Amino acid sequence: MKEIKNRRVFLQYAAKGILTGILTFGYFKYGKSFEWIRSGSQVNDQIPKINPAYKVNVLTDGTVELYTHKYNGERIVFPVKGFEADILLSIIKNMDPKLYTRELGLKYSLEENDFISLVESTIKTMEDKGFIYYGEDMLVKVKQAKNE
């Protein structure tokens, strides 16, 4: 009987320790930690990635250039400046842009709620343009080419 009680006490302490570790080191925000636990996915799955079709150049003035080549060798460049460039740089570093509220919020004079909504709209715009994507595999459109 004493062994069962010791086992229960041990399991209680282990559960408390694991939960505390997840809350503390998991994502540093109480609500985000429970969201991460409920979803059953890793935090890295929620961070967007740069489309592999684009190469990245970071210029000295803070401009980020996304460029690709057409089939005939023509180079297409998409320059990104300002707030969007800082968001792309955090994505390139494989970090969640929403966690930069203090640094980028001060840089652009934004409060936390305004910053997060601006980050979400910027990420949505970049995703719609095809610059970034979520998940392990990027979904691509397959098109049949005709031999002429």
- Give domain status of residue 144, yes or no: no
Q: Residue 79 — pLDDT band, cuts 50, 70, 90?
A: very high
Range of the domain at 68: 46-133
Task: Express each pLDDT in 22-31 by its tens digit.
Answer: 666 654 554 5
DSSP for 88-106 reads HHHHHTT--GGGGHHHHHH
Q: Give me the number of domains the chain comprises.
A: 2
One domain, residues 101 and 79: yes
- The pLDDT value recorded for residue 3 is 63
Task: Express each pLDDT in 83-131 by its tens digit.
Answer: 999 999 888 888 888 887 778 888 888 888 888 889 889 999 998 888 8
One domain, residues 29 and 71: no
One domain, residues 50 and 118: yes
Q: Residue 57 — pLDDT band, cuts 50, 70, 90?
A: very high
One domain, residues 125 and 64: yes
Average pLDDT over residues 35-61: 70
